[in-house]
Amino acid sequence: MPGNLSFDDLKKRVADGSIDTVLACLVDMQGRLMGKRFHAQFFLDSAWKETHACNYLLATDLEMNTVDGYASTSWKSGYGDYTMKPDMATLRLVPWLEGTALVLCDVLDHATHGEVPHSPRAVLKKQVARLEAIGLTPMMATELEFFLFEESFEDMRTRGYRAPTPISPYNEDYHIFQTTKEEGVMRAIRNGLFGAGIPVENSKGEADAGQEEINVHYSDALDTADNHVFTKNACKEIAWQQGRALTFLAKWGAEAAGSSSHVHMSLWTKDGKPAFYDKDAKYAMSELMCQYMAGLLAHASEITWFLAPYVNSYKRFAEGTFAPTTAIWSKDNRTAGYRVCGDGTKSVRMECRVGGSDLNPYLAMAALIAAGLDGIEKKLEMEPEFTGDAYQAQNERSVPRNLRAATEAMRGSNMLRKALGDDVMDHYIRAAEWEQQDFDKAVTDYEVARGFERA
């Protein structure tokens, strides 16, 4: 659903003093909110039309380093401005921040005022438009997992992010008593999101000590991605207010389970009918759904970086952890990379289980749509269903084992270049290369502990 605050409502709340601050935010390459805090009256007077931000915001790494090698911006070009254009349909309250509203912005070229093609919202909107051109609307949902810890973010930073204490001492998957102990944070998250107009469904304990899941109702792809980034930011802010730390790192510890962001997807016709449903077909999977699935599988390796963008992301793919190691499809089978859910009903859909909690939802959904569309356009035939334990599968398509492999698969993808554009692909290939280069320079605790005395 869109934001829960109209422009007229904002004017009234500014006039009565209940809102004094408006956050204008763009989404960066990592899926984080970046922007400015406006005095609400100035936002009403001027900034609701547009504001500006340095164009390095779409060419940095997690540390906000000015990485070289990007064609879009550099020291040579002087790091100029982008225009931030508030999408007023996303205007919403931020209940846990006093007197505050928030709006998401599209990123425009300062000179032409055209959308910057590698900005995450623009990348997704382009793929949505391709589907709309053939009369289809992508409906998506993300299941977002994270770990919650007893320490605060400040405590964790002081101790070098070592040895955090999970909020629970044991696996809390669906565990009501244990999650009752965590309600100080999780209730605040649910109610905060609901108050912000996010259609939150539930929270639950996940499959390890201290692991949580938050679920938001499905919507169209762009709205779902907007809700996703807002939800991640909300979780961090509310946990911080409660004196707790949490992480969306895909694999925070070697012995811990990974955290995912499963993506559920289906296509609807313009009159609101489920295009993936055929009551007379096996599992009620329409021919269109089978073609879409065939595209996902045919390009599974090529799109993996968009679902797993960091070195750490690939530590999550391990047998017996509910994270997939094979990019195959199966009905209601949590060991497979692609799972058919709601079989036999109008809710039949596919769940991509490859993505981690560290993904950028706009990029992930764009890549999934692009692959599925290729299957539809080429009328690809879906491969046979896998049954059984996919961790024990022999000679099946594997999920790329590391960032290098995923980067090379992405680099060689003609499908992605055609769908997203050469400039966009070159931009994100550079992002992937930098992540690997930066990691390759690091000396890890593992190396030091293993070899300090014994090497």
What is 7-117's CATH topology? Answer: Ubiquitin-like (UB roll) (3.10.20)
- Ranges under pLDDT 70 in the chain: 1
pLDDT for the residue numbered 424: 98
Instruction: Let me know if 436 is exposed, middle or buried by CB neighbors in 10 A (0-12, 13-18, 19+).
Output: middle
Instruction: Extract the tokens encoding 270.
Output: 């313009």
Q: Helix, strand, or coil here: 260? A: strand
In 217-348, where do the E strands start and end?
A: 219-220, 245-247, 261-269, 329-331, 338-341
Rg of the chain over CA atoms, in angstroms? Answer: 22
Q: Are strands 338-341 and 329-331 parallel, antiparallel or unpaired?
A: parallel
pLDDT for the residue numbered 79: 92
Domain residue limits, the chain: 7-117, 127-446
Q: What is the CATH number of domain 127-446?
A: 3.30.590.10
